[in-house]
Amino acid sequence: MNSENIIHADGTALKQAISANEVVLVDFWASWCAPCRAMAPLIDRLASEFPAVKIIKVDAERHEDLLSEYEVQSLPTLQVYRSGMRVEQLRGKVPYTLMQRALQN
């Protein structure tokens, strides 16, 4: 993962990124989560395909306090924000085409 538009964030950085960027994809993940690990290369691919999208990765173990605040009930959870508003939430291992569609809408 060497993309400039992917960052790892805590709660403060997450809020700043959501408010400061037009389109943000938030990836709530954990190292022990097999579907999270399986989706990691797809997230990297999204970063290449959608360079204008800021991708924020939140480690659910390190930032457990954010899970209830952002209504994360399972991992992985992807959330798409446009102009600071959540417009999409994808739970579990989802196909790449569904991730693409969420960013295109």
Query: Domain holding 66: CATH number?
Result: 3.40.30.10
Residue 63 lies in a domain: yes
Domain count, the chain: 1
Has residue 105 got a pLDDT over 80? no
| Candidate list 33, 40, 42, 94, residue with the active-site label | 33
The Cβ-side half-sphere exposure at 105, using a 13 Å CA radius, reads 13
Residue 22 lies in a domain: yes
Backbone angles phi, psi at 62, to 5 degrees: -80, -25
Smallest Cα–Cα separation from 29: which of 71, 64, 63, 77? 77
Residue 50 lies in a domain: yes
| Candidate list 9, 36, 53, 72, residue with the active-site label | 36
What is the predicted pLDDT for the residue at 4?
75
Residue 99 lies in a domain: yes
What digits encode the pLDDT tens for the residues 34-83? 999 999 999 999 999 999 999 999 999 999 999 999 999 999 999 999 99
| Catalytic residue status for 103 | no
| Catalytic residue status for 33 | yes
The pTM (predicted TM-score) of the whole model is: 0.94
Residue 31 lies in a domain: yes
Domain enclosing residue 45, as ranges = 6-104
Residue 1 lies in a domain: no
The residues near 56 (Cβ < 8 Å, ≥ 6 apart) are 6, 7, 8, 9, 13, 14, 17, 18, 24, 25, 26, 27
